[in-house]
Amino acid sequence: MSAAVSDNDVMMDEAKRNESFEKRSDDSNNICKKIFEAQGRLVEIDGPVRICGDLHGQFPDLIRLFAQGGFPPDSNYMFLGDYVDRGAYSLEVILLCLSFKARYPNNFMMLRGNHELAHINDKYGFREEIFTRKGEFAIPIYEEFTVRGTFGQTDRCTLGFQKMFDVMPLVGLIGGRILCMHGGISKQLKSLDDLRKLRSPFNLEDDCLENDILWSDPGKGSTGWQPNPRGASVVFGEDAVIECCKMLDIDLIVRGHQCVQDGYEFFAGKKLVTVFSAPHYLGTFTNNAAMCKVSAGLQVSFEVLIPEDLKVEERKMGPESTAAEMTQ
């Protein structure tokens, strides 16, 4: 085991044992809710910034990402959502991210993913983790509300996270040219003002822009807008991406939502890139993780975390390549 990995493991253990880290989670929740409400559904920032995709409770890998990219506030970050579910350490991941958000609200951006939804948490593990570990985190993390339990019983649990999730930003814009979201684009998206007017909360049953931003996917070989095999939202083609970039006057769309083998994957002539930041996903996949690094001048490169030896490679798109130049 390398010294860097050993140090990261020590940091993870300290974070898990740190009493104040646990006891302040309720405060972080409330503070971040107010910050999210103030920042709005579309957050607009400048570079430099590192963009990270899905984490899914893989806390050791989150620490490794910070070790590579720099811990806040030394580096700025934008996360694309899906902090929780599936992995074993969803609480550590979301609480650490919220702590950084509360401490550095203008340096640490958090977008909402489709796994920041109550019914998804009920199905994919976050809610179960709360019940399993509530003795370990003996604090009122959640605000009471009634949910239908997995085995049919009605449980009273504290889910203040859900009220905080409801007001998280859905979209980020970097330097006016790079658009970020969890899922993808929508045929209902016509202007950046549409993103500034996104509803919060919104009806999950609606065929709406908000749901598409959380759930839509690019489709290889697809054109236009097609039904999504997930059963939610749509699949969009390369033509839809190119038209969207032209209509919004942007150069690049960065999204998460899908595990890709190399940690990042381009689509539509490098007008869109999928970024996934959970290496060795679920302990069964062999995928790399990636961060998209955007400079102050909007030059784009990728830092790739390889799961076998935790080596990090930096892959540039060419000398001083900006998002605009990548598509030329």
Cis omega (within 30 of 0) for bond into 140? no
Query: Is 257 one of the catalytic residues?
Result: no
Q: Which residues, in sequence order, are CB contacts of 44 under 8 Å at separation 6+?
A: 172, 173, 176
In degrees rounded to 5, what are phi and psi of residue 239? -65, -35
Look up residue 141 and give its two tokens: 């993390």
Catalytic residue among 115, 182, 257, 280, which?
115
Do the beta carbons of residue 304 and residue 298 sit within 8 Å?
A: no
Do the beta carbons of residue 236 and residue 225 sit within 8 Å?
A: yes
Q: Which residues, in sequence order, are CB contacts of 34 under 8 Å at separation 6+?
A: none
Q: Which residues, in sequence order, are CB contacts of 238 under 8 Å at separation 6+?
A: 218, 222, 223, 267, 268, 269, 271
DSSP, res 315: E
Convert 143-169 to b/e letters by CB count within 10 Å (16 or more is b): beeebeeeeeeeeebebbbbbbbbbbb
Q: Which residues, in sequence order, are CB contacts of 132 under 8 Å at separation 6+?
A: none
Instruction: Return the residue matching tokens 């990270």.
Output: 52
Strands (E), 111-203: 144-148, 154-158, 171-174, 178-181
How far apart are the C-alpha atoms of 28 and 283, rounded to whole Å? 30
Residue 3 burial (CB count, 10 A): 7
Identify the three-state secondary structure at position 183. Answer: coil
Q: Which residue(s) pair with 301 in the sheet?
A: 293, 316
Q: What are the residue numbers of the active site? A: 115
